[in-house]
Structure 1
Amino acid sequence: MKVKDYAADHIFSFLCLAVSGLLIFALLWLIETPMVFIFFVESIMLTAYLCAFLYDYWRRRNYYTQLWKILDRLEEKTLIGEILVRPDFLDGQILDEILRRCNKYQNDRLADAKQDSQEYREYLDSWVHEIKTPIAAARLIIENHKNTTTLRIDDELRRIDGFVEQVLYYARSAAVEKDFKVEKTTLHALVNSALKTYSKPLIQAGGRPVFCGLDIPVCADTKSCSFIIGQIISNSIKYRTENLQVSFSAYEEQNAVRLLISDNGIGISSADLPRVFDKGFTGDNGRRYSKSTGIGLYLCKKLCGKMNIGITIQSDLGQGTTVILFFPQESYLQEAGL
């Protein structure tokens, strides 16, 4: 709060002071009061007003400066009403009470929203586990009654199972770190785990995997990393060309291990490339392939962020796509407490 701004806000009181000073001067002059006494009276009145003005400005400035500092430092802005010191001037006390009531209302609404969100995630978790039972039962029935029709049904059930798994990770994405189990493994094990799920679709698409240098140890959550790699494989199958090939290679750096997953598919345009991790973004490829949802890479990015794994994507239209996963070594071990 600046003095000039505060003075401009009190311009009416200055005008009242000036008018009252002139009236007192005129009255004392009419009754022939000596000028020295008139000057003395005017000085007392002006000094009293200025002292009151400066004191009021000082306490208000201190309060509002403190208020701004607290607001800047506070991460949860809605808690400001709970930690404010009650001011000693009336309009500040009114503002303080309004802030406290507004903050309480807002915090209550946020608590209700978080509770609803938590209940919704718990319901989705429960639904996913429940729906997996009939899917597994149906696939078991198909296994015992194999024919052309049941095998086609099995393919569709596998797709449904993939979408159900995607729903599960999406529901857990807000607090997925609570389900992490960081353990020592290898890139080869992570890739094989993902390929077990997508081996049949890959074979049906006429594709083949190629491995190079995957016997590198890393520390990661096997389940989440397998899901991420699986989503990348799924995209390679979805946006394939003839003679599909998915290559998995890796090499070590000073503090990280890079896993490169490359395909020879249709690629991604340079205009779409910066947005491929955005939620719901499908781009030009999504317009040509109606099966695109724009959720897979978004979940990959979110899960990688939770696990302290870097992810980037490189692609040229018509030249294939390469997704790179960065597995930190020393820093990740320290963060995981291993």
Structure 2
Amino acid sequence: MIAKFMKEYAGWYLLYLLMGIGFLGMFALYHLPFDFILQSLFFTGSLLAIWTVWLFFRFQRKQLMLEEALYEEILDAFHLPSDLAYLQLLAQEKAVAKQEILAYKSRENEWQALIKIWSHQMKVPLAALSLMSQTNQLNQTDVNHQLLRLDNYMANLLNYMKLSNQASDFRFEKVEVKDVIIALVKKYRSQFLQKEMTVEVVGTWQIKSDRKWLSFALSQVIDNAIKYSPNSGTVTIHLDNGVTISDQGIGILPEDIPRLFEEGFTGYNGREHQKASGFGLYLTKRVLTQLGLMIQITSQIDQGTQVRIWQEK
């Protein structure tokens, strides 16, 4: 502690020593009596010793407070302008650290909720595949359907991780959206066939975008159109300065529509039919926003849902 004290106040003691030597030199130069200077040095030295003791104990108290992080007591002990500036900086750093901890905990809770939902969803197709295997009823269409569900759930998790970590690898190029749509229709062919649904693709639309991420966003919309449509229904995809995907499904409650893009929101349909995780449309909205695209959903109960995606000019 003494070494720290001397390191901080060494300049003041060096100044006192130099001043004393200077006065001795002047007295010697002018042949003045040394009794006066010695008495002065003794008097000022005594004051310096008393001041040093007081200053040392004050310095020691500050150091102990800092080492023990007694923040409330520091506020009373530190009153110099430099001390107050230091405390203000500490308070700012403390507030920032607190916000970061709260954000981290919030993110951790979101991850736990996501993993819980995701693991529950993964169990369903895995259980279906296990049952097919045990009963020797491995129908190719049903197997493909369950594998597609597993692939979609895995893609959702991986893309959620990428977007959360700001690690998205966007590469913009000219994209013919109709080609992306046709590829997705082929991907979901087994689901269309299983529900005996028809799909119509009309028109063309070319934009500059990222093909992979655009495909992911559109796949979420098409998957929902199939999921909530009745057997023998029709999904219509119209391309004209945008893409509109319409289904003849169960529709969405009016009060649920404003919250569809919130993270983890499932709405009445998702809870009632136990098919939604609440992350599909949330990810879709985030991806489309980063691609510079807009999305709007309109729906009527028992009449269907229309999802329009377009690029603002």
Q: TM-score, normalised by structure 1?
A: 0.55
In the alignment, structure 1 residue 313 sits paired with structure 2 residue 297: yes
Q: How does 1:66-85 map to 2 (within 5 A)?
A: none
Percentage identity across paired residues of the two chains: 29
Cα distance change, pair 246–176 in 1 and its aligned pair in 2 (3 A):
farther
Q: Distance in 1 between matches of 2:97 and 2:254?
A: 45
Unaligned runs of 5+ in 1: 1-88, 122-138, 140-146, 252-256, 330-338
Q: What amino acid does structure 1 have at the position aligned with 2:278?
A: G
Q: How does 1:101-250 map to 2 (within 5 A)?
A: 101-105=90-94, 110=100, 148-149=137-138, 151=140, 152-174=142-164, 178-214=168-204, 216-250=205-239
Structure 1 contact 258–326 (Cα < 8 Å) conserved: yes
Q: Distance in 2 between matches of 1:224 and 1:263?
A: 23
1:249-303 superposed Cα distances (whole Å, 9 cap, x missing partner): 122xxxxx22111111111111111111111111111222112111111110111
Q: Distance in 2 between matches of 1:202 and 1:93?
A: 72
In the alignment, structure 1 residue 268 sits paired with structure 2 residue 252: yes
- Counterpart of 1:281 in structure 2 is 265
Structure 1 contact 312–324 (Cα < 8 Å) conserved: yes
Q: Distance in 1 between matches of 2:213 and 2:163?
A: 11
Q: What amino acid does structure 1 have at the position aligned with 2:153?
A: F
- Counterpart of 1:51 in structure 2 is none
Cα distance change, pair 285–92 in 1 and its aligned pair in 2 (3 A):
farther
Pair member with larger Rg: 2
In the alignment, structure 1 residue 294 sits paired with structure 2 residue 284: no
Cα distance change, pair 205–91 in 1 and its aligned pair in 2 (3 A):
farther
SS at match of 1:173: helix
Measured after TM superposition, the shift of residue 240 of structure 1 is 0.9
Measured after TM superposition, the shift of residue 186 of structure 1 is 1.1
1:43-85 superposed Cα distances (whole Å, 9 cap, x missing partner): xxxxxxxxxxxxxxxxxxxxxxxxxxxxxxxxxxxxxxxxxxx
Measured after TM superposition, the shift of residue 150 of structure 1 is 5.7
Q: Alignment RMSD, CA only?
A: 3.4
Q: Distance in 1 between matches of 2:168 and 2:216?
A: 16
SS at match of 1:179: coil
Structure 1 contact 260–325 (Cα < 8 Å) conserved: yes
